[in-house]
Structures are given as C-alpha cells and as structure tokens.
Amino acid sequence: MMPAAGGPTQILCGWNVTIRTDLLRRMGSELARELLLGAFLVRRLREEGRRFYLEDRAQMRHFDPFGLAYELWLLLLVGLGFGAMRTRKWSWAARFLYPLAAPAAAFLHWKRAFVHYRRAGKACGLQPAALAAALVLASAWGLGEAIGAWMGVDRAAPFLWRTEVKPVTLEDLARSDAREQAAAPRTGGLAVGQCGS
C-alpha cells in the first residue's frame, strides 16, 4: 500500500484495525458470526455510523508462508467466507445459482488487482507478469465464493480461521526476512509487502 495521510477515513482494511471492545460487546450473540471476516465487521460498523481513523504511523507485518499452493488455498478459503457471508440472507435458490457468477466474481477481483497495479504496482517493483498470477489467485477466490454460497455460514465457519491464524516457525520467519532483504534493492529500498506502508 502506498503511503496515505492519517486522519478520518471511510474505509479500513479487514483486520488491520483496532476496535473498541464495547462496540463488540453490544453485538451480543451476533458477535461470533460478525468476527468470521473482518471486512463484514468493518462494513457493519460503518453502516451503524461508526467513525474510522487511519493512523499513518502504524506499521504491521502480514506474514504468509511463501508458495503458490498455499496462496491458492488461502484465497479459496477467503472466497469461501465471502461467498457464505455475502449470501447469508439470500434464499436457497439464489444461493444455489450464485456459483454461475463465479467467473464474474473472479474477474472483478482481478480487475481490482489491475487497478492497484496501475496505481502502485510498478512503483513497488512488481512486474506485469504479476497480473497473470493475480488472475489465477482471483479465480481461486471466485471458486471459493461459489462453494461458500452453497455451504452457508455455519458449514463454512470452521474453515475460516486458517485465513487469519497461520502456523509460523522461526525458520519460516527467517526465510521470509531473507527474501524481503534480498528484494529491498529492487523495490527502491522498501521490502516486498511493505511498499511505503
């Protein structure tokens, strides 16, 4: 993500937030379901008129083990959650037909990647070939959405923890650090994944 000015904002990204616990407690029995995916919780809070603030001095590190197979599995699970949550109030017939839209969902995710690539990807050192990888990853997400719509929230929920809780060893972390340090000269001094954040 390219640098952004701190201050009030309308959009926050998934779990990259701090939320006052009293807001969560007020959700009562709905809290467990709202916690399945951060994006849906943030959307609910925005719909309730809650205010968001972007702290531009905050830093984070989002660690995911390296590898295409892992990323495909992870995005399939993210899609599973989005499909289940997005269609949770739909009729069974609409949920059954939702998989027909999987190619469109995948295209829309790829289109978002393309927009971000044009906005910031080149400046972060990404090559145009990254867009081909984005198409494969977006397809995994779209397939996950289709399956999630069929499964529903209750059956999809047990799989969603893997999108946020990742088993990480010290060796995994050391390999990741080494890759980021090796990539820093190609990305203008920024480590891959940090790109100005």
Alpha carbons 102 and 105: distance in angstroms, whole number: 5
0.85 surpassed by pTM = no
pLDDT tens string 115-162 = 989 888 878 888 889 999 999 999 999 999 999 999 999 899 888 877
pLDDT tens string 19-29 = 888 888 898 88
Beta strands in the chain (DSSP E): 7-9, 52-54
Which sign, positive or negative, has the C-alpha torsion 77, 52, 115, 181?
Answer: negative
Alpha carbons 87 and 53: distance in angstroms, whole number: 29
